[in-house]
Amino acid sequence: MSERLEDIAARMVADGKGILAADESSGTIKKRFDTINVESSEGNRRDYREMLFSAEEAMRNYISGVILFDETLRQKAKDGTPLVEIIARSGAVPGIKVDAGAKPLAGFPGETITEGLDGLRERLAEYHSLGARFAKWRGVISISDNLPSSTAVKQNAQALARYAALCQEANIVPIVEPEVLMDGQPGDHSIDRCYEVTEWVLKTVFAELYDARVMLEGMVLKPNMVIDGKNARKASREEVAEKTVRCLKATVPAAVPGIAFLSGGQSDEEATAHLSIMNASHDVPWKLTFSYGRALQAAALKAWSGRSENVAAAQRAFAHRAKMNGLAASGNWKQELEAAA
């Protein structure tokens, strides 16, 4: 008897836990490794991810799911245990990134469409057999005074809906990720412009999900927060939290079990603070949690620096960030807890 989609989705947004995005593409992980002068070889990538997934305190207490890259889903730890198994043993749900990346949208300069629908049904069947129980697809929406175009919004929403329907057919929970870029070009938009575009994008996405007959109880939404552009930051933490919650209440049906935010260019601490204020100060019908990549890993990556003798220190750094975000997911994070570490 296969597990119900609703049950998997509920595990992904369990109280006080969130999702680790460890699905960096080969290009992105190389950029991350370049910052610590480590070669991005298959072995180094495996060692780094094994170090994260075997960090017992972090994984058991604060991580509900892990998004993997195709290579990682197939890798084994040094002792021969599949990495998927290490994740599952910690109680977290293994997941997989299935999109083929954002490519230029023909005829629309500065905008993208995410590719990867061809052959997706067959790939999902294989990923399920390899142990993945949820998937992720990211639609990228550029924002400026005159972007996005309605074409970019509509086509990305349709692709997300088709992907989500295929996932549910394969008994895999889709994470639906429409990201309005905070750090896009020129990055000088106001928080109100971000609100306007995010509201439009989410309304369009849920209309397409409805048309595609996607079961809302068996999905997780991964949106951006409503925040001003990275070159125009002046909104307070309270304002970001308030406007994000208001926008979600206007667009996201209560049937969706959980919303796991991306950190999207925010600093580690900012992403944590915003999430905590939303949970502490606002009443919402869904679980609000995190699905962070860089904001969970940056400190651990630096501490590790490619050396086996640094594994314990790196795991402590990862456990600290995971704990801070776990507290934020229940509205209990406080600034002074950062200093305590």
Instruction: Report the distance separating Cα 205 and Cα 131, nearest Å.
Output: 28
The domain of 258 spans: 5-340
Share of the chain above pLDDT 90, in %: 97
Q: What percent of the chain has pLDDT over 70?
A: 99
Tokens of 256: 């969706």
190 Cβ contact partners less than 8 Å away, ≥ 6 residues apart: 228, 229, 232
The pLDDT tens digits for 69-124 are 999 999 999 999 999 999 999 999 999 999 999 999 999 999 999 999 999 999 99
Residue 136 catalytic? no
Which sign, positive or negative, has the C-alpha torsion 108, 109, 113, 119?
Answer: positive
Total-model pTM:
0.97
269 is catalytic: no
How would residue 184 be classed by pLDDT, with cut points 50, 70 and 90? confident
Residue 185 has pLDDT above 90, yes or no: no
Render pLDDT for 255-276 as a digit per residue (tens, 0 to 9): 999 999 999 989 999 999 999 9
Structure tokens at 130: 């390899």
Taking each helix axis from N to C end, the angle separating 191-211 and 150-169, rounded to the nearest 10 degrees, works out to 50
Residue 140: pLDDT band by 50, 70, 90 thresholds?
A: very high
What local confidence, expressed as pLDDT, does residue 1 receive? 61
Catalytic residue (one of 50, 177, 179, 208): 177
Q: What is the pLDDT of residues 187-234, one digit of tens each?
A: 999 999 999 999 999 999 999 999 999 999 999 999 999 999 999 999
Q: Which residues contact 58 (CB under 8 A, 6 or more apart)?
A: 52, 315, 318, 319, 322, 323
**Cα gap 341→337, rounded to integer Å:** 7
Give the chain's domain count: 1
Q: What is the mean pLDDT of the chain?
A: 97
Q: Mean pLDDT, to the nearest integer, of 281-307?
A: 97
- Residue 183 clears pLDDT 70, i.e. is over it: yes
pLDDT tier for residue 339 given thresholds of 50, 70 and 90: confident
Q: Is the pLDDT of residue 341 over 80?
A: no
CATH code for the domain of 209: 3.20.20.70
- Is residue 340 scored above 70 in pLDDT? no
Task: Look at residue 119 in the predicted model and tell me its pLDDT.
Answer: 98
CB neighbours (10 Å) of residue 50?
20
Question: Residue 318: its pLDDT value, please?
Answer: 98
Which is catalytic among the residues 136, 222, 243, 287? 222
